[in-house]
Each structure stands twice: as C-alpha cells, then as structure tokens.
C-alpha cells in the first residue's frame, strides 16, 4: 500500500493548485472572508506555509511505514482534515465557493478517513498515536488564526 504514503503529497499539491492556480483566487477570497487579518495574508506567507506542508508530506512519504513515518503521516493528514472543516464552514458562512473546497472534500476527506482506518486496522499505529496526531492536526486552524491576529496586531503597532 505504498501509494498511501504518497497520497497526501499528491492531494496537497492538487489542493494548492485549486486555491492558487485554477480557479485560484484564494488569498483575495480569504481577505474578504476575514478582513480583520487581511494584511497578514501575503503571497510570501502563503508560499512559506504551503511549502512547509508539501515538505512535511514528502518527509512522511519518505519515512514510509516506520513508526515515525506513520505518526507524521497521521499528523499531516489531520491538518488536511482540519482544512476540510475550514473550507466547508467558510463556504457555508459565505454562501459562496471557497477556492480549495472541491479538493478538500473530494481528496482530503476520504484520504483522511481511509488512512486513519487503515493504519489503525493494520496495527501500524496505536490508538494513542492516532489520537495525538488528530489533536495536533486539529489545532492547526486555531494556531493559524492566532498567528494571523498577532501578525496583524504587530503591523498595526508599526
């Protein structure tokens, strides 16, 4: 099942493509969605955050079925699952298409559900590891919003 280790990298690449290339427009959409942190949403910031995500996906794939590889895979996929929640909630709140929604729902959601099931069922992950990874990944939206608010507050002080 080696494809599973590479699936987050593929899904994240397609998701980032939907957000920024086709149809694109995520930064403008997000600035409209959260105007209070609009100045924090720079192209540089998006490149860095998405670059780190892709790097983590790559490292998880390269580590494969090792205990650290599985734990990292589960954590990265938990971040992707939290992104599904963000896109769905944002789409509901704005009653508009949120760039990234399609790939989040069609790729991230089934990948996350299947991956967690597979790694737990195969014994490659303990329940403790899976729960810890899920909690870490689920914390990303909160940490991201707090980071943007701090960045915005710093910009206002200058």
Angle, vertex CA 63, rays to CA 61 and CA 68, nearest 5: 120
Neighbours of 66 (CB within 10 A): 12
Instruction: Tell me the per-residue pLDDT of 27-44, one tens digit each, with 9 for 90 and over.
Output: 999 999 988 888 888 999
Q: Please give the tally of structural domains in the chain.
A: 1
pLDDT at 1 over 90: no
DSSP category for residue 42: -
Range of the domain at 42: 2-157
pLDDT at 118 over 80: yes
- Identify the residue with better confidence: 34 or 149: 34
Per-residue pLDDT at 151 = 76
pLDDT at 92 over 90: yes
**Number of residues that this document lists for the chain:** 158
**Helix (H) or strand (E) run with residue 5 in it:** helix 2-20
């Amino acid at each position: 099942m080696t494809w599973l280790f590479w699936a987050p990298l593929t899904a994240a690449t397609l998701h980032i493509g939907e957000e920024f290339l086709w149809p694109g427009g995520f930064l403008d959409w997000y600035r409209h969605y959260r105007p209070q942190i609009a100045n924090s949403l720079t192209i540089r910031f998006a490149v860095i955050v998405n670059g780190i995500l892709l790097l983590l996906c790559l490292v998880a794939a390269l580590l494969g079925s090792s205990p650290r590889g599985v734990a990292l895979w589960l954590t990265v996929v938990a971040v992707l699952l939290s992104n599904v929640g963000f896109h769905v909630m944002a789409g509901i709140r704005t009653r508009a298409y949120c760039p990234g929604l399609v790939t989040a729902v069609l790729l991230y959601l089934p990948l996350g559900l299947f991956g967690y099931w597979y790694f737990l069922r195969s014994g490659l992950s303990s329940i403790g590891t899976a729960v810890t990874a899920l909690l870490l990944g689920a914390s990303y939206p909160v940490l991201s919003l707090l980071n943007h608010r701090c960045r915005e507050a710093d910009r206002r002080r200058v």
